[in-house]
Amino acid sequence: MVSVVLAVVALLVIDQIRQANAWPSINDQPPLAVPQVQVPTDSWLALKAVMAAVPMQHSDRIRKALQEKGIPVDRGSWVLVTDQLKSLASLMGKPAIVSPIRKIGSEDSQLSLMPIIVLAQAQLLRGWDRTEGGDMLAAARDMLLVDRFGQQLVSGSHSLMMSVVGYSIQEMALKSLQQLLFIAHEPSVHALVSERLAVQAPPEGHLRQGLLRECAHSEELLLDPLKLADVDVRDAWASKGLPGTLFDQGATVAQLRKWCRAADAWLALLPAQRGRSPSTRPHGLSAALTYNVIGIEYLKIVSPEAHLHAAEAIHEQALHRRIISLLTAARRYGFEHSGELPERAEQLVPEFLTSVPLDPFTGKALKIEAEAIKTSRSEQVWITLPAAPSQP
């Protein structure tokens, strides 16, 4: 009986050694290139001060007001944060707000970004409030300013979280703009949106840059978790109960490098070509064995894998932006053709559009069919709500 037990133990040891040898070596993957970063700007410090002064007890009321369909009934609730909006106005529209890199244990890694979203929602409600007096042009300016603010956050972000917040703010602005355009009959409103919206799109490839930047920082932490004196990572590691004795550093870093490059290649594809996103953690028996289980836990702490799921939402936002551009161009066409809408998107080029917007999911041009815009997912987006009146 004892001999059987010893034989089983020996087989397990041999199997673990085999699994260990199957793990990648740190030499199998070259180091990740660290993208160049900018020094945080004074505008970031100013934004932090504004966020700290936002009365968050009003956040639910402001959020619920903006979630209503059509013109919000409680659109006047923006006045609850009037002082903070005044302070934010000096930052909107200026050069990018360059944030610091978010590091484990640092003050900025713990900083809540919710006040930014509350202020963006309040600014949109301020725009809706202007519609009560019939000033659709001023309402559009307020909403476009929110979209511009989101672009600033994306462009100046050194963290994936800040980028996602910026994209979310732009998506909120786009939804309000689309609703406003359906009820606005002034050609000047549509012309303003057409002019400004195109130049406020987030930069291409920014999410990939942010991913590689955080991957490189994660590699630095994995190679020497206690290296950075200004970052209290010791408590963060200890709180997870991860004894370093079982941490195979080389294999874990190699796994991170392999995943980061796979994630970058995945992001470079059109969404229709991507399939399932790559996973940080390896699959199979080795993940359940003692060997490098601690390394797998480390990867869970430092990996930005969750942000890959934001890529789909970001493409949805890009699609929304391009649909609004096509909607606006079609309405402007109607203003100049006695309310008649174009039968084909190509009729809008070059007078109202420089080119037909592409569907970011397929790379193909959006189409107008039967007075509706058709996307690659066969969704019909109606452009006649209401029909555009002829220009006076």
List, for residues 153-187, the tens digit of each pLDDT value: 988 887 778 888 999 999 999 999 989 988 888 88
Q: Which two tokens stand for residue 378?
A: 């066969």
pLDDT class of 54 with cuts at 50, 70, 90: very high
Place of tokens 């199979």: 284
For residue 81, pLDDT over 90 is answered with yes
Residue 126: predicted pLDDT? 96
Residues 6+ apart with CB under 8 A from 268: 208
Q: Which two tokens stand for residue 356?
A: 């037909």
Q: Which DSSP symbol is given to 362?
A: T
CA separation for the pair 43, 91 (Å, rounded): 7
Residue 392: predicted pLDDT? 46
Average model confidence (pLDDT) for the chain? 81
Cβ atoms of residues 140 and 127 within 8 Å: yes
pTM, two decimals, is 0.82
CA separation for the pair 65, 72 (Å, rounded): 6
What are the start-end ranges of the E strands in 245-320? none
Cβ atoms of residues 66 and 135 within 8 Å: no
